[in-house]
């Protein structure tokens, strides 16, 4: 941040005292309206992104009241857990000048990839230059996620975009004041991409994507005469419009006499011919120029895509319809047709942005819901979203005032509503609801895959879930990476979301401090690890029956790596015994015992596991429980024994009434593990996962090798046979210590593979 800007911050402190609530009142003297259109280089409007650094302010500045870190804790949904560096993202859209300024600011604060908070504030200019202040009138996100009610924004303008900066101060609502620093990113609020495909029976000249605004004599006297494109219309609405570059022709020869289009046929064509088609939310739209809809001449165009899971991706314009038939006696029929085709294309594309017709703005259930509860209809609006012939005075009246734009309310929606309401393929048509959030750009260096080794990832009620992580180098070159990177939870965040419930962050029971041993990983090679996902420091994150989504994000060398979103299903209890066991099993101590492979100290937890074994002997939960109880007995188990009369540990140590004792290994568990891991190896691998099963088999082999190397070798051979039957590659077993009768490779297992 430059010094002069810091000085401005000091001034902000003073200005704060000059400003009061009156500045938000209607009587306040603001800047003249409408605003002059500033050269883009000097305008303040656009998209800003927060930098992660804290603002260093002069001593005693009010801005120093609270750091960003404190705020992140406030909205972080994970009490006491600091979000990983770079994990919290924040955007701010300032809309105070440029084309059609709406005097609004809006922002998105992303706390994790499931949870974000959106806010919008209506702004008034203050007496201080480049400074605006306003009430936050819209919030969308978890309740109480953002309590601030007002925002104050100061901008540093510059001819050079990278020097443009913004400081936003959030306050009011009883929340501690929060200050955030943003860097200018774009003069536009969102990106969007269009592709125009034309059916082969539509002449190129009929696929209108631009219009001469003064060609028809019935127009506003003051309108600028220009050749206006659809891209420019949407750029003026605030979007950074690009063409996909995939414009093409759709052959219709094979259709025979049936050359009209149904909605389903258009949807199929979109999937086949749109170069960007994907079943996901994306800022991308397909525009199809066709001859006629099955409905006939009376349908000029349609946003046909309310089919399937991702709505609003495709629109169609019909050249052989009333939009190509100028009224009798029109002063310039050719210009009328051009304008009507252009208008229709912009109109249908507007539906793709989830804009309703002007007279439907307030329409809610049962069709959907307006994004604001008190949204008013605009039946007389001179907007792309109104029907020209529906206004008073009809089409002639409409076009005499039409300036090729959207209404102010529509611009506020497109620019500032939560992006999932607007983005194509996200919220359903006419509905502002949507779970899917935009995902940060995928890393091009590493790929992180989450998986279980269970068919369909369906788990029994009470069954513990082991999540496997696979990190693959996809950079095309050898990379140095820390061996234990998948165990470094400081750099990784795993989020679990049960359908219909808020997301929860999985927190490990412990963080380890390790030497940073680095390994060279070739392109295509992977690192693997496994964690008990069901439970963590939060308790049991996965317990209730239902559908869950799990996703992980990690940072390696400042590169953000996002995993796939893994879907899991937990079944419902089938017996009373399952419900009885659940009461004691879903306890934090039990999670700890399972995570660490057993305990001889947490007696209550061990008892809960024993109950599961007795009451549910054939369940997968019992399999986990038996293994957790058996593993500690494979070795001499050290524990601190305190004499009964010692009041506490410290007194006991001081009075030498505490001593380390050893519980000898118990050979009786051999029979249990033989059954669970060897005889029923496939079932164990299914519920434990391959990585965890292999670890347990290695542990068991090591125990056996102390007295019987042949038995150890046989166990490892069984492990290999079991896992290879489940499509695990042979190289995984290359360093097995006992399988080949050689101990030289002991401990040398390398968790890598060639792709």
Task: Write down the least CB distance from residue 391 to another protein, Å.
Answer: 13
Q: Length of the chain in residues, anyone?
A: 755
d(CA 467, CA 532): 6
Query: Considering beta carbons, is residue 256 or 298 the nearer one to another protein?
Result: 298
Q: Which residues of 366-394 are buried (b: 16+ CB within 10 A; e: fewer)?
A: eebbbbbeebeebebbbbbbbebeebeee
Task: Write down the least CB distance from residue 351 to another protein, Å.
Answer: 5
Report yes or no: 305 and 313 within 8 Å, Cβ to Cβ: yes
Task: Determine if 348 is a binding residue for another protein (CB under 8 A).
Answer: yes
Q: Site for another protein (CB under 8 A): which residue of 124, 190, 351, 416? A: 351
E-strand ranges in 463-545 read: 466-473, 479-482, 492-498, 503-506, 518-521, 526-532, 535-536, 539-540
Helix, strand or coil, per DSSP, at residue 319: coil
Query: Considering beta carbons, is residue 342 or 459 the nearer one to another protein?
Result: 342
d(CA 677, CA 682): 8
Task: Write down the least CB distance from residue 305 to another protein, Å.
Answer: 9
Task: Determine if 295 is a binding residue for another protein (CB under 8 A).
Answer: yes
Give the DSSP H/E element, type plus range, for residue 720: helix 709-724
Query: How big is the site for another protein, counted in residues (CB under 8 A)?
Result: 28
End-to-end C-alpha distance for the chain, whole angstroms:
45
Query: Considering beta carbons, is residue 50 or 385 the nearer one to another protein?
Result: 385
Query: Considering beta carbons, is residue 377 or 584 the nearer one to another protein?
Result: 377
d(CA 170, CA 173): 10
Query: Considering beta carbons, is residue 368 or 425 the nearer one to another protein?
Result: 368
Task: Determine if 373 is a binding residue for another protein (CB under 8 A).
Answer: no
Task: Write down the least CB distance from residue 360 to another protein, Å.
Answer: 6
Binding region for another protein (CB under 8 A) out of 146-154, 235-243, 363-371, 586-594:
363-371
Q: Site for another protein (CB under 8 A): which residue of 88, 302, 465, 737? A: 302
User: What's the chain's Rg over C-alpha atoms?
Assistant: 32
Task: Determine if 367 is a binding residue for another protein (CB under 8 A).
Answer: yes
In terms of Cβ atoms closer than 10 Å to its own Cβ (0-12, 13-18, 19+), residue 419 is: buried
In terms of Cβ atoms closer than 10 Å to its own Cβ (0-12, 13-18, 19+), residue 318 is: buried
Q: Site for another protein (CB under 8 A): which residue of 252, 363, 372, 653? A: 363
Query: Considering beta carbons, is residue 429 or 596 the nearer one to another protein?
Result: 429
Binding region for another protein (CB under 8 A) out of 140-148, 238-246, 347-355, 642-650:
347-355
Report yes or no: 58 and 6 within 8 Å, Cβ to Cβ: yes
Alpha helices in 538-616 (DSSP H): 576-585, 588-595, 603-615
d(CA 624, CA 463): 8
Task: Determine if 123 is a binding residue for another protein (CB under 8 A).
Answer: no
- Give the phi and the psi of residue 735 in degrees, each rounded to 5: -105, 20
Task: Determine if 347 is a binding residue for another protein (CB under 8 A).
Answer: yes
Query: Considering beta carbons, is residue 301 or 536 the nearer one to another protein?
Result: 301
d(CA 606, CA 590): 7
Task: Write down the least CB distance from residue 594 to another protein, Å.
Answer: 51
Task: Determine if 561 is a binding residue for another protein (CB under 8 A).
Answer: no
Report yes or no: 752 and 521 within 8 Å, Cβ to Cβ: yes
Site for another protein in 376-415 (CB under 8 A): 387, 389
Q: Kindly report whether the peptide bond that precedes residue 366 is cis, defined as omega within 30 degrees of 0.
A: yes
Q: Site for another protein (CB under 8 A): which residue of 46, 98, 238, 301? A: 301
Task: Write down the least CB distance from residue 78 to another protein, Å.
Answer: 40
Q: Site for another protein (CB under 8 A): which residue of 46, 98, 141, 368? A: 368
Site for another protein in 413-442 (CB under 8 A): 429-430
Query: Considering beta carbons, is residue 359 or 509 the nearer one to another protein?
Result: 359
Task: Determine if 322 is a binding residue for another protein (CB under 8 A).
Answer: yes
Task: Determine if 314 is a binding residue for another protein (CB under 8 A).
Answer: no
By the criterion CB under 8 A, which residues form the site for another protein? 295, 297-304, 306, 322-323, 344, 347-348, 351, 356-357, 359-360, 363, 366-368, 387, 389, 429-430
């Amino acid at each position: 941040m430059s010094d002069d800007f810091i000085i401005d911050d000091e001034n902000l402190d003073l200005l704060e005292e000059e400003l009061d609530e009156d500045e938000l009142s209607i009587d306040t003297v603001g800047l003249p309206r409408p605003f002059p259109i500033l050269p883009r280089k000097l305008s303040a409007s656009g998209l800003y992104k927060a930098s992660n650094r804290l603002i260093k302010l002069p001593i005693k500045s009010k801005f120093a009241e609270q750091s960003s870190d404190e705020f992140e804790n406030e909205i972080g949904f994970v009490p006491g857990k600091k979000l990983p560096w770079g994990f919290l993202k924040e955007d701010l859209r300032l809309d105070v000048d440029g084309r059609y300024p709406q005097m609004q600011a809006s922002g998105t604060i992303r706390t994790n990839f499931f949870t974000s908070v959106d806010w919008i504030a209506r702004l008034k200019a203050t007496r201080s230059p480049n400074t605006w202040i306003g009430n936050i009138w819209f919030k969308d996100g978890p309740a109480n996620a953002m309590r601030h009610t007002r925002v104050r924004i100061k901008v540093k303008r510059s001819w050079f975009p990278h020097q443009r900066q913004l400081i936003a101060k959030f306050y009011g609502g009883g929340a501690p004041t929060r200050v955030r620093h943003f860097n200018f990113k774009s003069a536009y609020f969102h990106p969007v991409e269009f592709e125009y495909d034309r059916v082969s029976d539509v002449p190129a000249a009929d696929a209108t994507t631009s219009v001469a605004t003064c060609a028809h004599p019935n127009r506003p006297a003051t309108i600028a005469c220009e050749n206006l494109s659809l891209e420019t219309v949407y750029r003026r609405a605030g979007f950074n419009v690009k063409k996909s570059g995939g414009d093409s022709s759709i052959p219709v020869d094979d259709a025979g006499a049936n050359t009209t289009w149904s909605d389903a046929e258009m949807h199929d064509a979109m999937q086949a011919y749109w170069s960007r088609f994907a079943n996901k939310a994306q800022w991308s739209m397909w525009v199809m120029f066709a001859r006629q809809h099955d409905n006939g001449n009376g349908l000029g165009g349609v946003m046909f895509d309310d089919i399937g899971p991702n709505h609003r991706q495709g629109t169609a314009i019909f050249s052989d319809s009333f939009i190509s038939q100028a009224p009798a006696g029109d002063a310039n029929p050719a210009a009328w047709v051009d304008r009507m085709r252009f208008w229709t294309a912009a109109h249908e594309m507007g539906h793709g942005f989830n804009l309703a017709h002007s007279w439907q703005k307030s329409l809610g259930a049962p069709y959907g819901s307006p994004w604001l509860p008190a949204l008013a209809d605009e039946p007389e609006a001179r907007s792309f979203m109104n029907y020209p012939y529906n206004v008073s005075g009809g089409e002639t009246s409409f076009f005499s005032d039409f300036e090729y734009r959207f209404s102010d309310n529509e611009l506020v929606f497109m620019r500032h509503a939560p992006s999932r309401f607007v983005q194509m393929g996200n919220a359903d048509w006419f509905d502002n609801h949507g779970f899917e959030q935009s995902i940060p750009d995928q890393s091009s260096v590493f790929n992180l895959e989450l998986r279980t080794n269970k068919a369909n990832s369906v788990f029994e009620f009470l069954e513990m879930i082991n999540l496997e992580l696979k990190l693959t180098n996809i950079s095309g070159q050898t990379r140095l990476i820390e061996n234990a990177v998948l165990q470094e939870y400081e750099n990784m965040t795993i989020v679990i979301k049960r359908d219909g419930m808020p997301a929860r962050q999985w927190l490990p029971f412990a963080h380890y401090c390790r030497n940073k041993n680095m390994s060279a990983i070739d392109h295509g090679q992977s690192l693997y690890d496994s964690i008990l996902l069901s439970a963590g420091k939060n308790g049991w994150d996965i317990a209730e029956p239902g559908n869950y989504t799990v996703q992980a994000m990690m940072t390696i060398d400042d590169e953000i790596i996002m995993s796939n979103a893994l879907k899991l299903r937990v079944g419902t209890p089938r017996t009373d015994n399952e419900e009885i066991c659940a009461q004691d099993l879903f306890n934090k101590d039990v999670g700890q015992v399972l995570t660490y492979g057993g305990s001889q100290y947490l007696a209550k937890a061990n008892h809960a596991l024993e109950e599961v074994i007795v009451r549910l002997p054939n369940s997968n939960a019992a399999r986990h429980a038996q293994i957790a109880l058996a593993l500690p007995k494979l070795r001499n188990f050290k524990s601190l024994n305190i004499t009964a009369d010692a009041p506490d540990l410290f007194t006991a140590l001081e009075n030498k009434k505490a001593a380390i004792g050893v519980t000898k290994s118990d050979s009786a568990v051999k029979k249990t593990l033989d059954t669970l891991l060897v005889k029923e190896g496939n079932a164990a691998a299914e519920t434990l996962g391959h990585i965890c099963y292999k670890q347990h088999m290695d542990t068991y082999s090591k125990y056996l090798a102390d007295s019987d190397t042949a038995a150890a070798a046989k166990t490892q051979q069984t492990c290999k046979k079991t896992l290879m039957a489940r499509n695990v590659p042979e190289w995984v077993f290359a360093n097995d210590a006992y399988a080949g009768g050689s101990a030289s490779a002991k401990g040398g297992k390398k968790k890598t593979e060639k792709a």
